[in-house]
Structure 1
């Protein structure tokens, strides 16, 4: 398989269920820092929150859980303990901490649970607001408390490009800490998965993922300075240019489009952003952004953490901070979120390898991160009779056509799905369909349909 094809496949089907193996592949980290694997084998992890004591809370949407990684007090470079602290949630994603409470953004609700003085869960989880739309492509919700004390919430679009019927989609909203006073703060944000405030003047900046299917190099992904009442273009503009499909459909009375403060390369998929508050030198006025990486460029791009540096004249300079997740024909990871502890340690989640990395001051380190599969790679369909295979292939093929899967998996720069058996078992691929990695929408398949689609995809490789 060609280099681009293999990497695109791995990006398109989300995280790997294979355990990473150490074969000497290195990540590259910025000068003056070292990177270590802090935790591994965590599965489809997404967003992080760090307590004042150094504990990490980690969301795991596919299993409906939030994990706690206890701070490394014994100095062995690993969490002192790992436990599931919340379970049974609906695709939890964003996390936030406030006044001895852990807040969780489910795909359709916001809830919270109390923490004791040691940062441990006490009492029951309480949903504060529910009923948020979570259908379509961009179902994740991200939350963070602003300097004004409001809880801010982002909700992505249902689609690649369309006019939404739900006014809460493609927005950033906010509410009081108890869930009251919910209001839309800004619109036209296609999928602003990450946002944070500058520590020097409390301005809100949000990443935004540009639309797909307009070629390898357009439109750019965006960093926007978000203001109350602002409109940021989608679906009528891409950055400062009219959209070829919706640019002639601009409604009367729409606020003026606010162009990005900074452009990322097309399809790099910027997700979590964190302004650094405990660094010095060149990182005193900077933020880290996790670039999840492209899924629909003919040549993959992104797959790294970059630093953004605010200059005195207001311009922004981008540099690599943690890179080399994409090497030759190997995709080793897809960064998702970044948090900074009070100690200055930086933690980065990776939903592809299921790892959390720790970056801290020190001499450069050698961190091997290869992700060759350790699961049984024998024929995943070996237990199916020829008759059952034929029946399920026909059913799965019908589902593949019904949901127009070929539009994303067979054209516009994305190679056909191949090599799935290298990454998935039959059961793990079926599990992927329950909570797929965005922008793949949740298809609401029953168990028989998930099995049929799994058999169809594996059979198509033969």
Structure 2
């Protein structure tokens, strides 16, 4: 009976949502947008990613390789990696924290429930033998043994009475080196003046739960926090408000300081809000503008400064998970980006893992990023219930691999060029060869793993899409659609010839 009722409710939500989506986003954006809206409202999720989907859609930055670490985890969110290499991950909708026991590196040994019966747990951190958990209305802790991966004793709530009504009920928790624990609490609404002074803030408290106070305010929904290892400055992502068009306001990365005010709801990245800009109180501190602006509605969530990666280009770098838009006519985000701090303090944003959304093919929505002491990077996805693992690639090239030992290597897709007759294929191959020489592709790709097993990872269309917006440091060459098709056909043809 309950399954029938859930199905009826699901259908009703879709029927109510479609007119709104058509009115605001047009037919072209409805398919992806409706999936994301349903994901946010009722927990609707996508299928577990297949090997073919991963190989076709995901691209990782040069010098790294990516594999599917584990899937089938449900609506997972934030993570913590222990010194033993185990990954802890929260599952708010089921009130659980999972532990994913480290295995041989490429795949885990086991997955089990570590804690349950919690109230929408989200943020996690570990301090002096205690695992701290930010529930939607409280913060608690339990004794945790890193070596065994086991908890002991009773779970104790230290901070209670936190507001969790309305929007943005998740709480994120991070331990600072200054002896304080920092706690974010998002706003109840898209835009409003909050009655609860703890909402739309970052707070902090002592490890025993005492001295809880607001540390910074005017933060609509700062989900991710981390400290720059070279300066110990705190940075936090923040989601900008909705319903002001496709491209405004930007989402933000803010440098968080004690007593800082960051604008919401009165200002959006320094620009007065159309609804509340004339209501700015006189007694607030001066607004602090973002340290970096993300594209509007990209929804930056987890942020992690890399500490253990040995690649020189990533020495002063943070990775940020962009959950992806639900309210743009053309969906955007759905990737992990690298923020590179320059000597003058400016920040350059580059793609790190892309392809979670290609056309209407929604593979996942990145949520959090963590780094293990061996330099492994883990990315959680609450849409498909998956965790991806990124490691340095041998030889400095990028590649995709599949982790599970029982998975078989994909057969080469020898039919990738089946739609072309001999004359079309010959013409495109000739044109593609000329382009390959013209842009000196051999200079960077001689012997590169990026040009291995293309038929396993791409179709002509998906490779053409990649050439439209390649992963840095590969430049975006001025190629029209015909040239991108020719280059794709040429590369596939070369690989198929070598296979024979």
TM-score grouping bracket, smaller chain normalisation:
0.7 to 0.9
Corresponding residue of 2:265: 235
- Residue 137 of structure 2 is aligned to residue 103 of structure 1: no
Judge which range, 109-118 or 79-88, deviates more: 109-118
Q: Partner of 2:399 in structure 1?
A: 365
Tell whether the 8 Å contact from 1:26 to 1:367 is kept in structure 2 after alignment: no
1:169 to 2:199 alignment: yes
Residue 384 of structure 2: SS of its match in structure 1? coil
1:245 aligns with: 275
Q: In the alignment, which of 229, 243, 246 is matched to residue 199 of structure 1?
A: 229
* Contact 2:227–2:305 (8 Å) recurs in 1: yes
Distance 1:60 1:165 in 2: 29
Aligned to 2:120: 91
For normalisation by structure 2, the TM-score amounts to 0.72
Given that residues 31 and 364 in structure 1 are in contact (C-alpha distance below 8 angstroms), is that contact kept between their aligned partners in structure 2? yes
Summarize deviations over 1:187-214 as a string: whole Å, max 9, x none: 0000000010000010000000000000
Tell me if the contact between 1:59 and 1:67 (Cα under 8 Å) persists in the aligned partners: yes
Instruction: Indicate which of 265, 285, 289 corresponds to 1:255.
Output: 285
1:14-163 aligned within 5 A? 14=39, 15-16=44-45, 18-24=47-53, 25-72=56-103, 74-75=104-105, 77-116=106-145, 117-163=147-193
Aligned equivalents of 1:333 and 1:3: distance in 2?
19
Q: Assess if the C-alpha contact under 8 Å between 1:27 and 1:368 holds in 2.
A: no
Does residue 352 of the first structure (1) align with residue 383 of the second (2)?
yes
Counterpart selection for 1:212 from 242, 256, 269? 242
Q: Deviations over 1:399-431 (max 9, x none)?
A: xxxxxxxxxxxxxxxxxxxxxxxxxxxxxxxxx
Deviations, residues 358-403 of structure 1 (Å, cap 9, x unaligned):
000115333689xxxxxxxxxxxxxxxxxxxxxxxxxxxxxxxxxx
* 1:229-265 CA-partner distances (Å, limit 9, x unpaired): 0000000000010001000011121111100000000
**Could you tell me which residue of structure 1 aligns to residue 374 of structure 2?**
343
**Counterparts of 2:304 and 2:370, CA distance in 1:** 6
Runs of 4+ more than 6 Å apart: none
CA distance in 2, matches of 1:300, 1:278: 33
- Separation in 2, partners of 1:81, 1:39: 10
* Conserved 8 A contact 2:246-2:327: yes
Contact 1:3 1:328 survives alignment (8 Å): no
Q: Find out whether 1:320 has 2:345 as its counterpart.
A: no
Correspondent of 1:271 among 289, 301, 305? 301
- 1:246 and 1:239 map into 2 onto residues whose CA distance is 14
**Which entry has the higher C-alpha Rg, 1 or 2?**
2
Q: Secondary structure at the match of 1:248?
A: helix
Measure how far apart 1:18 and its partner are.
3.1
Write the deviation string for residues 283-324 of structure 1: whole angstroms up to 9, x where unpaired.
000000000000000000000000000000110000000010
In 2, Cα distance between equivalents of 1:328 and 1:26: 10
Shift of 1:2: 4.8
Q: Distance in 2 between matches of 1:102 and 1:70?
A: 16
- The structural deviation recorded for 1:20 is 3.0
Q: Deviations over 1:173-228 (max 9, x none)?
A: 00001111101000000000001000001000000000000000000000000100
Q: CA deviation at 1:147?
A: 1.6
How far did residue 118 of structure 1 move?
Answer: 2.5
Against the structure 1 CA distance between its residues 165 and 302, is the aligned structure 2 distance closer, same or farther, given a 3 Å change threshold?
Answer: same
Distance 2:27 2:74 in 1: 27
How far residue 21 of structure 1 moved from its aligned partner, in angstroms, is 3.0
Per the TM alignment, residue 133 of structure 1 is displaced from its structure 2 partner at its CA by: 0.2
- Measure the CA separation in 1 of the matches of 2:401 and 2:57: 5
Q: Which has the larger displacement, 294-303 or 19-28?
A: 19-28
Q: Tell me what 1:10 maps to.
A: 35
Q: What CA distance in whole angstroms lies between the structure 2 residues aligned with 1:147 and 1:63? A: 31
| Relative contact order, higher structure (CA 8 A, sep 6+) | 1
What's the offset of the Cα at 1:23? Answer: 3.0
Aligned to 2:254: 224
Cα distance change on mapping 1:208 and 1:335 into 2, 3 Å: same
Query: Which SS does the other structure have where 1:366 is aligned?
Result: strand
Q: TM-score, normalised by structure 1?
A: 0.78
Q: 1:376 corresponds to which residue?
A: none
Paired with 2:69 and 2:402, the residues of 1 have a C-alpha distance of: 13
CA offset digits 1:102-136 (Å, max 9, x no partner) = 11100000001111243321222111111000001
- Would you say the 8 A contact 1:293–1:304 is kept in 2? yes
Q: CA RMSD in A?
A: 1.5
- For 1:307, the equivalent position in structure 2 comes to 338
CA distance in 2, matches of 1:252, 1:154: 25
